[in-house]
Chains A and B, each alone.
Chain A
Amino acid sequence: MAEKPIISIEKVIKNYPVGGKEFRALKDITLSINKGEFAGIVGPSGSGKTTLLNIIGSLDVPTQGEAHVLDKNIAELSHNEAAKLRNYNIGFIFQVFNLLPVYTVFENVEFALLLQKNTVEQRRKAVYDALEWVGLQDHANKRPDKLSGGESQRVAIARAMVKRPKILLADEPTANLDSENAHGILKTMKMLNKELQTTFLFSTHDEKVMGYLDRTIHLRDGALEKDIIENKTTSV
């Protein structure tokens, strides 16, 4: 299968200005991820996981090097093009859920579709499909503050998946969940990965998450340390 990688990172460097100096958060990262992978960036706190995920998600741009996502050079996208890429093709899941508090579960999930051109009926169906994937059909009219942590993260998954994105980026999705809920949402995501062929990319240092991953990309101090694909270690 010589398909083009869905994500391809080449010699990416990311510097942050800190106290007049430049702090290098990513050091010459090169890697590629293929369609349908269930992969994770792992590493200790401060190793650059979120930074890398944000660049892939077009929320940030590399200082040097190139990041191509779905054949698009992240650094060359305009604000509007990046917004469109995220709206149609990239789903985000955050550690702290980030549900919109004044909207119901249904409305939270519906949100991304409102930015697209869909009919009310199409949206309704898509939202209920997504809620069914995460087992929350009966909670559609609740407000986020009435949900447990596990339920909130499920809503976040439904919200990210409702538009059937090509890529789902999950930044420490289990960090605020107990073990049972963590396993629950991981199973759900694994299922969605199989069913919808969505490419999943996690950032995590949670052992539970790593148990589900087909591939772990290890970062340390902003550098790629090792890349383990289904127990085959690729040295860097």
Chain B
Amino acid sequence: MKLALKLAFKNLWGAGTRTVLNVLVLSFSFVIIILLNSIMDGWDQQAQKDSIVWEFGEGHLLHKQYDPLDSFTILDGHGPIPKNQLGITPILVYQATIYPQGRMKGIVLKGIDSNQTILELPIEKVKTSEAKFPVIIGKRLAESAKLNKGDEVQIRWRDKNGTYDANTLTIVDVFDSNVPNIDNGQIWMDIKTLWKMTDLNQEASFFVADKNYKAEALPLWRFKSQEALLKQLKDLINQKKTGQAIIYLLLMAIALLAVFDTQILSIFRRQKEIGTYIALGMTRSRVVRLFTIEGSMYSILALIVGSIYGIPFFMYLAQVGFAVPPADQKMGIAIAEVIFPIYGIKLVLSTILLVVISATIVSYLPARKIAKLNPVLALKGKQQ
């Protein structure tokens, strides 16, 4: 093994440019795989944190008929607040239509206690307003409906009996959150105001649980834990990760193809050398091993070269973060404007293993041929 390493290194060193190229391409694979995945991991962690403080709390207690992903369930998915249940903040969801600049736009009204502290939502701002219907909205709705702080907007809704009602909302604040789920198409107000508007006094569609919440069997409600809520988020991010994998798997395929190609070529061109090794008393399997190690050595060198330019780059990125392009901000998952990548041991080790093992395999496949080589013909340099 030591001999093979030494020989492999000498042979690679002697091969010059070709080695440099293979090593560079392979090192790009290393760096890109770690880069993309570390950004995704950073995003994942940031999204989890943001989602907990802006949306999930310690979990959601949902009305059995209310499904946040299905707006048709809003109409019936609410019920009276259960008595004696600790640690829950009620949220009532209601559909309405607003008319910003005369255009019609369907939205969801969400009422929440203006004294709540479980979510980061700055709903307390409505308390100090003189307006009749003070509300807050997120930056995304503000942008899409062209509404600003201080604006007024017409709203129409049906009360619980189906009778249309209309009034004017005053936007007292536009909040900036990384979580689009609590922003897109939503208007937040004090739940008491919403109760009055809809005549659904003391009712809620779901609750945000806090640390004081203790699970109790309630016939009308079902609890979705924080982990369950986060899992959806994780699944979405994992889906994205899989999509990204195509990019670096393609890059890696190119790098591995280059190694494979070099191996084929070197076995073709180095027939005499192979014959000489055998004549000098090397067993064929040892020559196979030598050529295999030579190929996997590319990945080791790539690891070294990749570290030389990758580590400073990664450290820089960990400082300044990765700016997310505006287009990506419109996705349905929580995403910050700047993501700070996370370099996990697991990520780094599995990347190293992936590249080294696959480089070894593509080196071994062509090298296997040596075991069947006729040394006499190899010494003559005849292609077999």
Question: B276, B285, B286, B374 — which one has the most chain A CB atoms within 10 A of its CB?
Answer: B276
Interface residues of B (CB under 8 A from A): 3, 10-11, 13-14, 272-273, 275-276, 278-286, 374-376, 379
| Contact flags A190-210 to B (C-beta < 8 A → 1, else 0) | 000000000000000000000
CB-CB under 8 A for A83 and B278, given A54-B376, A102-B11, A103-B10: yes
A45, chain B: closest CB distance, angstroms: 14
Asked whether A60 lies within 8 Å of B280 as measured between CB atoms, the reply is no
Q: Which residue of A lies closest to B378 (CB)?
A: A59
Complex Cα spacing A78 to B229, Å? 65
Known: A100-B276, A114-B3, A115-B3. A80 touches B10 (CB 8 A): no
Give how many A residues have a beta carbon under 8 Å from the other chain's beta carbons. 26
Residue A154 is within 8 A (CB to CB) of chain B in the complex: no
Count of A-B residue pairs with CB < 8 Å: 60
Q: Identify the closest chain B residue to A53 (Cβ).
A: B376
Q: Which residues of A line the B interface, CB within 8 A?
A: 54, 57, 59-60, 79-80, 83-88, 92, 94, 96, 98, 100-103, 107, 111-112, 114-115, 159
Contact of A94 with B10 in the complex, beta carbons under 8 Å: no
A83 contacts across to B, CB distance below 8 A: 278, 281-284, 286
Tell me the dominant secondary structure on chain B's binding face: helix
Q: Let me know if B279 and A102 touch, CB within 8 A.
A: no
Residues on B with beta carbons closer than 8 Å to the beta carbon of A88: 281
Bound form: Cα–Cα A107–B280 in Å: 13
Complex CA–CA separation, A54 to B376 (angstroms) = 7
Q: How far is the CA of A159 from the CA of B277 in the complex (A)?
A: 12
Q: Check if A59 sits within 8 Å of B379, measured CB to CB.
A: yes
- 9 intermolecular pairs with C-beta atoms under 8 Å apart: A59-B279, A79-B283, A80-B283, A83-B286, A85-B281, A96-B272, A98-B275, A102-B14, A115-B280
The smallest C-beta distance from B220 to any residue of chain A, in angstroms, reads 78
User: Is the CB–CB distance between A115 and B379 below 8 Å?
Assistant: no
CB within 8 Å for A57 and B284 given contacts A94-B379, A102-B10, A114-B3:
no
Chain A residue nearest to B279 in the complex (CB): A92
Contacts of B282 in A (CB 8 A): 83, 87, 115
Q: Contacts of B272 on A, CB cut-off 8 Å?
A: 96, 98
- Check A112–B276 contact: CB distance below 8 A: no
Shortest C-beta distance, B12 to chain A (Å), equals 9
Assembly CA distance A59 to B30 (angstroms): 43
Contacting pair B11 A57 (CB below 8 A) = no
Residues of chain A contacted by B375 (CB below 8 angstroms): 59-60
